[in-house]
């Protein structure tokens, strides 16, 4: 389970840490920067789960332990260059767009095989798996189909020789469906921290 602390302040993160949580997902790099400064005495792994602009690569390379929203080569290149400067490497998940909404980010499904091949050129990026956001729908089967598609993509990619043990899919509203379809990690915000204002 990845607790998603976006929009909640350092006090909420400390309360979650008191329960034994150490990894926290954030949508915005600015929030990671602010919270990392406020919580500099704590040992926290920050995970970027939101759409990431290339101009944020410097902060990500310095502060994050993982990016779950890698979806284009220009971002991979920017992260790789900054990680080389920092002398670090980073776990990454490839975000694949399985939902139909235009508002959802992610690599097009058909581009995944070549994208995984090209990522091998960036040794600072440790590709660990895939991530998706399901369609926002009351139709459980439609939601579940997004998760199923990601699992099937992962299985085909593994058969093609890629090691992808992780599937990050499912949030507070739909995580049981994601787990049923093989999620290895669910991103939970509201169900832990409460509703956002």
Q: What is the pLDDT of residues 143-178, one digit of tens each?
A: 999 999 999 999 999 999 999 999 999 999 999 999
- Burial (CB count <10 Å: 0-12, 13-18, 19+), residue 20: exposed
CA distance 191 to 189: 6
Structural domains for the chain: 2-193 (3.20.20.10)
Q: Which of 93, 66, 67, 71 is nearest to 163 (CA)?
A: 93
Q: pLDDT tens digit string along 174-197?
A: 999 999 999 999 999 999 999 887
Question: For the whole model, what pTM was predicted?
Answer: 0.95
């Amino acid at each position: 389970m990845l607790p998603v602390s976006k929009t909640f302040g350092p006090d909420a993160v400390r309360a979650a840490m008191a329960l034994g949580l150490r990894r926290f997902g954030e949508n915005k790099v600015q929030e990671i920067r602010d919270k990392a400064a406020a919580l500099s005495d704590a040992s926290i792994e920050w995970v970027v789960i939101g759409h990431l602009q290339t101009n944020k690569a410097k902060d990500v390379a310095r502060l994050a332990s993982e990016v779950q929203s890698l979806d284009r080569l220009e971002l991979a290149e920017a992260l790789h260059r900054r990680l080389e400067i920092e002398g670090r490497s980073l776990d990454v998940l490839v975000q694949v767009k399985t939902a139909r909404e235009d508002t959802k980010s992610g690599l097009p499904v058909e581009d995944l095989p070549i994208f995984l091949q090209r990522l091998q050129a960036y040794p600072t990026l440790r590709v660990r798996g895939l991530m998706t956001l399901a369609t926002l729908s009351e139709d459980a089967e439609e939601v579940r189909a997004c998760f199923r598609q990601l699992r099937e993509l992962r299985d085909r990619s593994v058969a093609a020789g890629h090691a992808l043990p992780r599937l990050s899919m499912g949030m507070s509203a739909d995580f049981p469906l994601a787990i049923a379809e093989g999620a290895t990690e669910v991103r939970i915000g509201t169900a832990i921290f409460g509703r956002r204002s």
